[in-house]
Amino acid sequence: MFMKFFKRDVSILKKCKYNIVGLDCADCANKIQEHLNNHPHFHNVSVNFSTSKISFETDYTSNIVRKVNQIISGIEPEAYLLNDDKKQASSMLVNVLRIIVAVALLLSTYFVDNALYDKMVIILVYVILVMRVLFNAIKQLLHFTINENFLITISTIGAYVIGEYMEGAMVLILYEIGKILENLAINHSRNSISHLLDIKPDYANLEDGRKVSPEEVKIGDVIVVKAGEKVPLDGVILEGKSSLDTSSLTGESKLVEVEENMEVLSGSINQNGLLKIKVKANYDDSMVSKVLKMVEEASDRKAKTETFISKLSKIYTPVVIGLAILVAIVLPYLGKVSFNTSIYRALSFLVIACPCAIVISVPLSYFSGIGFLSKKGILVKGSNYLDAIKDVNEFVFDKTGTLTNGHFTITSSTILSGNEDDFVNYLILGERLSNHPIALAILDYYCDKKDVITQDVSDYKEIAGFGISYRINNKLVKVGNAKLVSYYKKELAGTHVYVSVDDIILGYVTLNDQIKGSASKLISSLHKRGLKVSLFTGDNVDIARNVAQSLGISEFYGEMLPNDKYKKLEEKISNGNKVAFVGDGVNDAPVLARADVGISLGLSGSSAAIETSDIVIMNDDLLKINTALDAAYFTNKIIKENLLFALIVKMLVLTFSVLGFSTMWQAVFADVGVTIITILNTLRILKH
């Protein structure tokens, strides 16, 4: 480990990402990742079984694919890096042909009545079918890996040795057919998820008529998007008017009307008209790239169930082999069972005990849940968060911009000292330098009524939870809440912004913010689920109370600074609650990061909130939280169904095999058949 650290030079590491062909074993994916991470020339390796992708950093400069394939082949001999699937298709075709030839040879024994011919055919069938499995098993043993290839090899060769020739051959055929069906089921699951996430634009039309890759387009370039085409990059419309389908990003089926000077996001589909768009972000920074990156990286953050299954699989196979040996040795001494019979039952035990159904179905279930939610416009940054949200028993909401629209309107202004012109001038001078929703509302209201002041200010400061301060003509001006200007008189309902100059309060404006229509429905549904709901806000307690009462929230806290929110949330979590926090502002970032599950809003949310949150609601529809909860519960239900079904079937067949009531044929079903059924059951997540 020391040598690896010593050799690493971050400045020369090359980032690589490839598809892995033939990766049909989740346990092998974990082993490949672990093995490469322990290699001195590979760093930050991530192998995603659900998407069949591998990413890593390396200091190798040439023959990278060949070097990685050498390592992979020792763990999963049939897996390799490739940019297309032609070899995978040909490999599957070869396996199908091998099975057809083996079946034809076995059938021929029914028409040729010759013992020597029968024996030669059986040997040939074993050679055709066993050699591949045996070769893989030996290769994996050399890398200290034991998996189903080893178990099947021992079982079938053992069956031949004890004289069960035909049954051993049929087990091999059924196993091979099962593996092909298993691969088809896995690929179908992966393709279903891929189609859900098929939002990447293939090309961009430059204004000069050239068709290029979106990665080649630079900031400031002008692109043309025709009707029916995807918007390849984020930008601003220079010419044109159209309707955009943004469902792949937001999950919202309603078309969005756009025209000149409006911003558009990559991944949207132009339904009609011709748009000329000035690009404002490179492809890597575009919305579609961020969405795809978040979804692809989601499986790298594993849920506790996945981690447990991964650890269990490392000790599972050796334990199974030990139990099979015990079955072979102990049974003859417990009853009237011959050694041949006890060995046969032990060999069946080995086939049944393969953990594929459990190891494969769990990660596929989580990734199917994440893929389903991404199609609905909900980005979950890891299966651990999909797992965590099902255990949440309390939701805490920020108020402004989360439960309310965040679009403030000024209802009145009150002058306490001086004249209105001075009051408005000082107010605009400060707010024109802020991006806070209240500041934007004030500017929108007053700048239509008088000229924008361009006078420079100095020592401008934003004070989180209070407001702003600045100096002009040697005067200290404060614009913010009552605490900032030390105004202690009873306030009326509404949000108030005060202006003071050298500690003399000139007056204040009163603003109101409307509660979102979806907020009441969401809070009601959360209560019906038996979940607790709380409200945190920086606004005064009276405003907090009014909003809370309107929404049926019994617990609320007002006049909270970012640090107050953090401490209160910490207190709730330390009391044993599983808490989800929903917010959108910069000041919500620390609380979003601390919550068991942080949920941010993708459209109105700040970059800091989106980056630190665990789940992003792309279209700001609060009711999507219900969708996320339903998907999390359903995914958990499918995982439990798969695990329970696999364990019950395996335990029953294991018991029957030890007692002599089942054969190797049932053993193959308990292995490959159960795996296929659990994978097909997992596909229900994508369609529920």
pLDDT in tens, 270-283: 888 889 999 998 88
Q: What span, in angstroms and rounded, lies between the C-alpha atoms of 158 and 142?
A: 21
**SS3 call for 558:** coil
Put the strands of the sheet holding 14-21 in their side by side order: 42-48, 53-58, 14-21, 80-81
Look at residue 313 in the predicted model and tell me its pLDDT: 63
The pLDDT, as a whole number, for residue 84 is 45
Query: Which uninterrupted H or E stretch holds 412?
Result: strand 409-415
What's the burial of 684, exposed, middle or buried (CB within 10 Å: 0-12/13-18/19+)? Answer: middle
Pure H helices in 529-668:
541-551, 562-574, 589-594, 607-612, 624-659, 664-668
> How much is the pLDDT for 4?
43
Contact partners, residue 592, CB within 8 Å, separation at least 6: 581, 583, 598, 599, 600, 609, 612, 613, 614
Question: What pLDDT, on a 0 to 100 scale, did the predictor assign at position 145?
Answer: 65
Nearest one of 571, 449, 445, 563 to 497, comparing CA atoms: 445
- Rounded Cα distance between 27 and 457, Å, is 62
Q: How far apart are CA 558 and CA 561, in angstroms?
A: 9
For tokens 């897996």, the residue is 79
Q: Under a CB-based contact definition with an 8 Å cutoff, are residues 224 and 205 in contact?
A: yes
Q: What is the pLDDT of residue 44?
A: 86
Domains and CATH numbers, the chain: 12-84 (3.30.70.100), 88-194+299-366+637-686 (no CATH), 218-281 (2.70.150.10), 378-405+515-618 (3.40.50.1000), 409-512 (3.40.1110.10)
pLDDT in tens, 201-228: 788 899 888 889 888 899 999 999 988 8
Q: Which residues of the chain have pLDDT under 70?
A: 1-11, 24-27, 50, 82-92, 140, 143-147, 182, 185-186, 188-199, 248, 250-253, 294-314, 356-357, 448-455, 490-493
Q: Which pLDDT score is estimated for 169?
A: 80
CA 304 from chain centre, in angstroms, equals 15
Q: Which whole-number Å values give the CA distances from 149 to 156, 172, 322, 660, in the listed order? A: 11, 11, 17, 24
Helix/strand/coil percent split, the chain, to 5: 55, 20, 30
Residue 109: closest CA among 98, 120, 101: 120
Q: Greatest CA separation found in the chain?
A: 117
Rounded to 5°, angle at Cα 538 from 532 and 542? 80
Residue 672: the pLDDT is 76
Helices (H) then strands (E): counts for the chain: 24, 26
Q: Which residue in the list 245, 398, 513, 584 is annotated as catalytic?
A: 398
Active-site residue 113, yes or no? no
pTM given for the model: 0.70
Looking at residue 498, its pLDDT comes to 93
Beta carbons within 8 Å of 300's beta carbon, 6+ residues apart: 46, 48, 382
Dump pLDDT digits (tens) for 351-365.
Answer: 777 776 677 778 788
Q: Which pLDDT score, from 0 to 100, does residue 189 have? A: 63
Residues facing residue 270 across a β-bridge: 244
SS3 per-residue string spanning 676-687: HHHHHHHHHHHC
